[in-house]
Amino acid sequence: MNRFTIYPAIDLMQGKVVRLKEGDPNQQKTYSDEPSSAAARWLDAGAAWLHVVNLDGAFDQPDAANRQALESILAVTGKSDHFVQFGGGLRLIEAVEEVLSAGVQRAVLGTLAVENPGVLPTLIHRWSPDRIAVSLDAREGKVKTHGWKIEAQLSALELAHDLAGQGLRWLIFTDIKRDGKEQGLNIELTRQISEATGLNVIASGGVASEDDIFKARDAGLAGVIVGKALYEGKIDLAKVIHAI
């Protein structure tokens, strides 16, 4: 069984570290102008992985500044045994291949995998199951794509089943209504997806306290992504990593 992992989130918009509420770019708060410094901070606290998101790419906006920020983050993680999973705007196989070749350990697919799940076997065969993840972002159980603007036809659970059948091993599940609001994770649905599919499921959206992290661990999930609660100082990352 994989060790439970805490993934500090670094969400990028125009090259800056931000957090959004419910994925709304109009509800943005900037935490840092230097993504590499944020990366170093979480690594120094004991994180083994970072979860980096290209929000501009997800919203189909110019993302050159975020690509440069990713390079600076990889320069930090590349100096030691640390890893980056990266997603947002990876709509083509070539884009996935590019970031994996650049040093990203795990590419996170969203819209591409939902709209064209047939690409998964190709990418998994090329890079291995541990280097490809899919992020299912849902509101009231219904998956949203294209920066959470378009609703998919299937539920998160139905899509997770389909993706598992394509050879997927890693899945990130985000409850959009809770994201960036520190209202606690949707443990019930996240655990249901994990148990029904056998996937390594990483919980995301709404972590408010250390207790949410322990609930995710105790639910048998593979990990949890933590964003706003870290940047607001409500969770001591070094302390909680030591505790798990």
For 213, counting Cβ atoms within 10 Å of its Cβ (0-12 exposed, 13-18 middle, 19+ buried), the class is buried
Q: What is the pLDDT of residue 18?
A: 95
pLDDT of residue 66 exceeding 80, the answer is yes
* Residue 137 designated active-site: yes
**What's the pTM value of the predicted model, to 2 decimals?**
0.93
Catalytic-labelled residue, pool 56, 63, 137, 212 = 137
Q: State the pLDDT at residue 86.
A: 98
Task: For 24-47, write each residue's pLDDT tens digit.
Answer: 777 789 999 999 999 999 999 999
Helix axes 64-77, 93-102, angle to 10 degrees: 40
In whole angstroms, give the CA distance from residue 72 to residue 104. Answer: 12
Count of domains observed in the chain = 1
Is 56 designated active site? no
Nearest to 212 by CA among 190, 192, 231: 190
**Residue 98: CB partners within 8 Å, gap ≥ 6?**
none
Catalytic residue among 11, 56, 63, 179: 11
**CATH number of the domain enclosing 126:** 3.20.20.70
Predicted local distance difference test score (pLDDT) of residue 147: 60
Token pair recorded at residue 199: 């996937």
Domain of residue 231: give its range: 5-243
